[in-house]
Amino acid sequence: MSEKNFTLPLVGFTTIIVYLLTTSRYLPWGDGVEFYLAARNLGVPHPSGYPLFLLFGRILLSISDTPFSLNLTTAIITTISITFLYLIMIRVKVQPVLAAGLSLFFGFGRIIWLQSVVAEIYSLNLLFLFLILYALLRLDEDEKFVPITFYLSGLALTNHLTSIFYIIPSLVYISLKNRRLGLYPLFTILPLSLYLYFPIRSSANPTPNLFNPESLGGLIELVSGKVFHYRSFFTTGNYLSKSIVDFLSSFWHQSLILIPIGIYGIIRFSKKELRNLIVVILAALTTYTLLYNIPDKEGYYLPILGLWTILIAIGIGNLLPRRYEAVLLTLPAIGLLLNYKTCNYSKESSLEDLCQTIYKNLPRGSIIISDDYFVYYGLLNLELKKAGGIIPICDFYLRLDWYINQLREGYAEIGMPEGIDNLIEECDRRLLSANRIGYGEVSKRYCHMIRREIIGANIDYRPIFLYLYDDSDWPRRWLDLHLKYYGLYYQFQVEPAPPEVFPLSLPSPDRYRTDRLIDKDAITVTKKFAAAYNRRGIYRFQMNEITGAISDFKTALEYYPDYYQVFSNLGIAYISSGDTSQAIDNLKIYLNSGIADPKMGMIRRLYQRLIKDGDN
């Protein structure tokens, strides 16, 4: 058996087996929860809509209607991408063993692995880049790869608009090599008909159904991603420096140490025209990604990392004697050892657990407003499945007229004052003159104003709750309204409510403990669980339920062992119970933590007094 015949299946089978073991079985944080609803219901998600990915996902969901099926779609797509990465390396004269080792090393890098175990569209964008490069490498063999490249370019545009940064250079490359294109460019237009999916499905009012794409204006706004345009080409010094640091940090987790070899690969690339094409694509993708202002953009790095992997392979192939290349098969093992624990999402269910805990305690007919986009979709998914009469509202969308119209049509029982329409018009006018930094602040301010209108129209008729992504300051009021705390969410009230021992039925600390978790979202959820018990303990202490308060404080520490503020609360509770020894031990832990806390001075004096009394 030749090396190629052996290494090609090795790459494919090894990748899919590892991804299968680590793919999330649950609704993931990120856009995956929205994509699950959109693929399941053939709905319309956020811009630019991603119709091709939704249709791929719908195929697997028709076999098994679980979040795992959609997450597995991404894993399969990435596996195909890595297989084509291997084939590209073979085409540029990289030896099969070296190509296999570096392809698997790329696949087991932290950035691409994390993007491959949850439902995301970035792996499909990577696949189209590799498919187009592979087709370009075969242009001289068969003219049929010219229309294939045009067709693939059109398909890529139905997945992610950043594909334009490798499509345009690739089509220019074809035009320069083959001046007689004839009708071939029409093959790019044909796949774009997939975007007709949106007006067709929008007319059926699926969930989700964003931006009203039944109208031409709504369709253009959706497909163009107009709502995110203000985030593009951010050139402020502070943002750019942070973006570069994040970019280099991501490269470090993937292959930064090998970048100098990739630069050497550029020099030794035998196909000069293709080398120039790759350099142009790298420059375009890197520039846009660095200047695109979104919080989590690691998925945007995948095409850049993939191209560097090709260049690194060429560089190593020209530096390393062939008899040593087999040693590079150890690289995937290094990636597995370093990243398996971090990238194993098979048991990561924090979004589902959080949403189920909130949902099961909400009374029928209530409204819950969420400022967390992903929790909103998690609650919406539960309502669609359980029909518990809960009305989830996404705070982020409140300034958009199509969303207000959907709320009016879908929930006729809730009051939606006409004043909301005036606020939306006023917001739109202000956004026209807002700069890039002010755009988000204006949007947020008007979302809050519209939220207040909705609350005012409904608070006398039904309970209205609020979920906050960040409630670390434990708010008691919002504007002129009071907030009653229920552990994971709040209820809006006109009058203040006295402290109350609210029920808590949270997942066990055996499953959620901050020092045993790696995923940042799971850690955030766990800290919310800890805060819920800490705050209930404070209520119990205020109500003189000292034993219950101590129990709650201890439970908070089971979730979050480094929750140092709880040690001070626990120490004070032990003083009230008469257990001075335990009080001293817990106050000492708090004082030794060195955290910045306004209570530090008061607790230190209390601790010193206890020590002095003990000496006497």
Q: How far is residue 268's CA from residue 276's CA, in Å, rounded to a whole number?
A: 12
Give yes or no: residues 370 and 481 share one domain. Answer: yes
Q: Quick one: pLDDT at residue 562?
A: 96
Q: Quick one: pLDDT at residue 20?
A: 98
Pairing of strands 477-478, 481-485: antiparallel
Query: Which of helix, strand or coil describes residue 44?
Result: strand
Number of structural domains (the chain) is 3
- Let me know if residue 500 belongs to a domain: no
Residues 90, 7 contacting (CB under 8 angstroms): no
Give yes or no: residues 357 and 307 share one domain. Answer: no
Q: How far is residue 536's CA from residue 575's CA, in Å, rounded to a whole number?
A: 18
Give yes or no: residues 298 and 355 share one domain. Answer: no
| Sole residue written with tokens 């994040």 | 246
- Let me know if residue 546 belongs to a domain: yes
Give yes or no: residues 192 and 260 share one domain. Answer: yes
* Type of residue found at 60: L
3-state helix, strand, coil in the chain (%, to 5): 70, 5, 30
Q: Quick one: pLDDT at residue 616?
A: 58
Residues 82, 106 contacting (CB under 8 angstroms): yes
> 482 has which bridge partners?
477, 493
Which residues of the chain, if any, have pLDDT below 50? 1
Q: Which stretches of 321-455 are assigned E, i.e. beta strand?
A: 367-370, 391-394
C-alpha dist (Å) from residue 138 to 97, 120, 144, 392? 22, 29, 9, 52
Q: Quick one: pLDDT at residue 520?
A: 94
- Let me know if residue 498 belongs to a domain: no
Q: How far is residue 41's CA from residue 275's CA, in Å, rounded to a whole number?
A: 43
- Let me know if residue 506 belongs to a domain: no
- Let me know if residue 226 belongs to a domain: yes
Q: How far is residue 178's CA from residue 134's CA, in Å, rounded to a whole number?
A: 17
| Sole residue written with tokens 């109500």 | 543
Give yes or no: residues 393 and 292 share one domain. Answer: no
Structural Rg of the chain based on CA atoms? 28
**Which two three-digit tokens encode residue 351?**
């979004």
Give yes or no: residues 70 and 111 share one domain. Answer: yes
CB-CB neighbours of 240 under 10 Å: 14
Structural domain of 331 = 3-343
Q: How far is residue 343's CA from residue 244's CA, in Å, rounded to a whole number?
A: 24
Give yes or no: residues 475 and 539 share one domain. Answer: no
Angle (nearest 5°) at CA 160 between 78 and 299: 50
Q: How far is residue 176's CA from residue 405's CA, in Å, rounded to a whole number?
A: 50
- Let me know if residue 451 belongs to a domain: yes
Residues 487, 502 contacting (CB under 8 angstroms): yes
Q: Which residues contact 498 (CB under 8 A, 6 or more apart)?
A: none
> Residue 554, Cα to own-chain centre: how many angstroms?
32
| Sole residue written with tokens 């951010």 | 234
| Sole residue written with tokens 């970035």 | 122
**Half-sphere exposure for 15 (CA within 13 Å, toward CB):** 33
C-alpha dist (Å) from residue 414 to 105, 370, 410? 54, 17, 10
Residues 344, 519 contacting (CB under 8 angstroms): no
Q: How far is residue 285's CA from residue 342's CA, in Å, rounded to a whole number?
A: 27
pLDDT tens digits, 319-340: 888 777 777 778 899 899 999 9
Pairing of strands 490-493, 464-467: antiparallel
Give yes or no: residues 182 and 214 share one domain. Answer: yes
Give yes or no: residues 248 and 362 share one domain. Answer: no
Q: Mark which of 343, 372, 407 sits at the end of a domain.
A: 343
Q: Which residues contact 594 (CB under 8 A, 6 or more apart)?
A: none
- The DSSP code sequence of 109-134 is SHHHHHHHSSS-SHHHHHHHHHHHHH
- Let me know if residue 501 belongs to a domain: no
Q: How far is residue 565's CA from residue 599's CA, in Å, rounded to a whole number?
A: 9
Q: Mark which of 435, 460, 493 sits at the end of a domain.
A: 493
* Type of residue found at 5: N
Q: Which residues contact 502 (CB under 8 A, 6 or more apart)?
A: 485, 486, 487, 536, 539
pLDDT tens digits, 86-131: 999 999 999 999 999 999 999 999 999 999 999 999 999 999 999 9
Give yes or no: residues 478 and 525 share one domain. Answer: no
Q: Which residues contact 310 (CB under 8 A, 6 or more apart)?
A: 85, 88, 89, 92, 133, 265, 278
Give yes or no: residues 63 and 151 share one domain. Answer: yes
Convert 431-468 into a string of H (helix), E (strand) and C (coil): HHHCCHHHHHHHHHHHHHHHHHHHHHHHCCCCCEEEEC
Q: Quick one: pLDDT at residue 270?
A: 87
CB-CB neighbours of 268 under 10 Å: 13
Helix 122-137 / helix 272-290 crossing angle, nearest 10 deg: 160
Residues 554, 534 contacting (CB under 8 angstroms): no
Give yes or no: residues 293 and 321 share one domain. Answer: yes
Q: How far is residue 316's CA from residue 79's CA, in Å, rounded to a whole number?
A: 23
- Let me know if residue 318 belongs to a domain: yes
Q: Quick one: pLDDT at residue 1?
A: 46
Q: Which residues contact 73 (CB under 8 A, 6 or more apart)?
A: 53, 56, 57, 60, 119
Whether cis (ω within 30° of 0) applies to the bond prior to 208 is yes
CATH for 579:
1.25.40.10
Whether cis (ω within 30° of 0) applies to the bond prior to 505 is no
Q: Mark which of 315, 343, 371 sits at the end of a domain.
A: 343
Of 555, 542, 393, 550, nearest to 462 by C-alpha is 393
The span from the first CA to the last CA of the chain, in angstroms, equals 86
